[in-house]
Amino acid sequence: MCGAELKPLPEGVQRVAALLQTLGHPHAPVLLDDAARTAQQAADALGVALGQIAKSIVFRRKVAAAGAGPVADERAVLVITSGDLRVDEQKVEALVGKLGRADAAFVKARTGFAIGGVSPIGHSEPPLLLIDRELFRFEDIWAAAGHPHGVFRLRPQDLPRLTGGAPVVDVTVAAAN
């Protein structure tokens, strides 16, 4: 990639592509014909297992203010989890503190990406980031590349390096036996 290839891409995808290139990642983002706002849509478009989609779940962290009750501290918490699993908010809270809902405006303001296109990298403001250990069940996974039509391929073990050392943790709901 010489840089000229980045111009026709949406701005968020350009940002992710440039960062992937800087980090020496071997796979550039690709644009899908149809939107992949959900993990299922992405898996269907790519012809891969639902669990191979690294979905981005954004929360708003809350902290207790002295005498004022809980208030949002405006820190985005980004959980990159396997597309076939649900995030266990209690497990995430045990790691980062009380969580609140992150609406579309919060997600866009804090990450620079719209819901359905939040990439694990290239955020406007660095989020508190956690990587789901269940992604490591797969050899290859796919993550959003800054736009609902954009994705990029990677290996689970690439995530900590690409994200600046985000921890790999257990953050999903246990499967029923």
pTM, 2 dp: 0.88
> What are 67-101's pLDDT values in tens digits?
555 555 789 999 999 999 999 999 999 999 999 99
- What domains lie within the chain, and their CATH numbers? 4-169 (3.90.960.10)
Distances (CA, A) of 74 to 34, 135, 144: 32, 27, 23
Question: Euclidean distance between the first and final Cα of the chain, in Å?
Answer: 47
- State the number of CA atoms in the 13 A half-sphere of 20 facing the CB: 28
pLDDT by residue, tens only, the chain of 177 residues: 445 454 578 899 999 999 999 999 999 999 998 888 889 999 999 999 999 999 999 999 987 555 555 555 789 999 999 999 999 999 999 999 999 999 999 999 999 999 999 999 999 999 999 999 999 999 999 999 999 999 999 999 999 999 999 999 999 997 654
Nearest to 135 by CA among 53, 58, 16: 53
Q: Which residue has the tokens 């990439």?
A: 119
Single-letter code of the amino acid located at 92:
V
Strand, helix or coil for residue 23: coil
